Structures are given as structure tokens and as C-alpha cells.
A and B are shown apart, each in its own frame.
Chain A
Amino acid sequence: DVKVTQSSRYLVKRTGEKVFLECVQDMDHENMFWYRQDPGLGLRLIYFSYDVKMKEKGDIPEGYSVSREKKERFSLILESASTNQTSMYLCASTFSGISTGGYTFGSGTRLTVV
């Protein structure tokens, strides 16, 4: 089974802190994604990457950056955390040929910024 592992299930950080959310997948997927999930808003795409060192902005990239130095790892960085970044963060991955199936999601990281 494909596995997408997010390093933390729950995280509490202070306003202004630099926050790193890590995601690792073990199926050699080319594409990786970071979403945030908020009630009533569904999942909104923050950033995605379709290859090592490649990154593309999603729909809500402001206040975030990403890093993909290795194929299996995709990191989301909050440069200076703010309270409006309190949310559930979901990482996902897929092969570049999506016809083989849908995305595989991690269990999520619930981040609270105080």
C-alpha cells in the first residue's frame, strides 16, 4: 500500500515562529501536494510539486513556501506563523499519470497558532 506520512499529527506554535511540516511518501510518486482543510471551505491547494526542486503555487500560497530536495519528501514552511494559519494541513501524492487512480493522502497535521 502507498503510504504518505506526515511527521506530526498535532502541532502548537506561537505567532511569528517558523514552522516546518514534513511529508514523506514511499511509492516513488512524481507529484506531491499540500492542502489546507477548513470547515466549509473544503481543501484548498497551497503548493504542489511535479518533480524534485520543482514547485508551483496553488490557490492560496501567501505566507507559505515549500521545499522538495528529494523525490519522496515535500516540506511546507510557514515563514512567520500567524493565527489565520491555524488549520488542518494535508499532504498528498500521485503518479504523473493520474489515470491509474486518485491521490493518496496523509493523515494530516492539525496546526494551532497561538
Chain B
Amino acid sequence: AQSVSQHNHHVILSEAASLELGCNYSYGGTVNLFWYVQYPGQHLQLLLKYFSGDPLVKGIKGFEAEFIKSKFSFNLRKPSVQWSDTAEYFCAVNAPQAAGNKLTFGGGTRVLVKP
């Protein structure tokens, strides 16, 4: 079974700072990788996804993530954060050959951006 770990539970930073959130997964086969974001009081939204091809994936709102297969990692980055990036971020992995396309999520990272 796959598992996902996110290194930080809470991150606090100032506007214009750079953000990097770590995500590691454990699964021996082919995986699809996702980052979701949950803004305060809102439902989960897809930020970006990786299925195959270029390991550097660009998503919405200036976010990007890099898949490093040898490290089983899929870290999320943003060069310059804004106050509106305050949210909880979830990394998730899916094994496409498994029945039902179930996603396994990490524990989430709460990001607070100070104005």
C-alpha cells in the first residue's frame, strides 16, 4: 500500500518569501502525484498534478512541483508567496493500476503568510 509523508505540519512566512513544501511517498510502482490546496472555509482544489513526462510541473497561481523519482519526492514550490496563499496544502499519490483510483494523502501542511 502507498503512503505519503509531508515534512512540515506548519509553516509561517512573510509575503514575498519563497515557499517549499516537502512530500515523500512510498510505493514501488508507477504513481500519479498531486498537490491539493484548501483555503480557509473552502473545499479542496487541485493545484497541480504529475502523470508522466517533464518532471517539473507547473500549476495554478504560480505554483510548481518537481518529481524526483530516485528520491520518491514531489516537492511543491512558489518563488514569492502572497497573503492569499494562506491555506492548507496536501500532497497525494495514486497508483493508477489499482482499482477505484483511490488517492492516498499526506498529513497536510498549514501555511500562514504574514502580510
- Closest B residue to A90 by beta carbon equals B44
Q: Considering only CB atoms and an 8 Å cut-off, how many residues of chain A contact the other chain? A: 28
User: Hey, which chain A residues are within 8 Å of B96, CB to CB?
Assistant: 98-99
Indicate whether B51 reaches chain A with its CB closer than 8 angstroms.
yes
Q: Considering only CB atoms and an 8 Å cut-off, how many residues of chain B contact the other chain? A: 28
Distance between A43 CB and nearest chain B CB, rounded to angstroms: 4
Indicate whether B72 reaches chain A with its CB closer than 8 angstroms.
no
* Complex CA–CA separation, A59 to B32 (angstroms): 19
User: Hey, which chain A residues are within 8 Å of B9, CB to CB?
Assistant: 40
Indicate whether A33 reaches chain B with its CB closer than 8 angstroms.
yes
Indicate whether A107 reaches chain B with its CB closer than 8 angstroms.
yes
Q: Which of the residues A44, A48, A59, A102 comes within 8 Å of B100, measured between beta carbons?
A: A48
Q: A90-B44, A98-B94, A102-B49 are in contact. Are A40 and B101 (CB under 8 A)?
A: no
- Is A105 in contact with B44, judged by CB distance below 8 angstroms? yes
Where the two chains meet, the residues of A that have a C-beta atom closer than 8 Å to any C-beta of B are: 31, 33, 35, 40-45, 48-50, 56, 58-59, 90, 92, 94, 96, 98-99, 101-103, 105-108
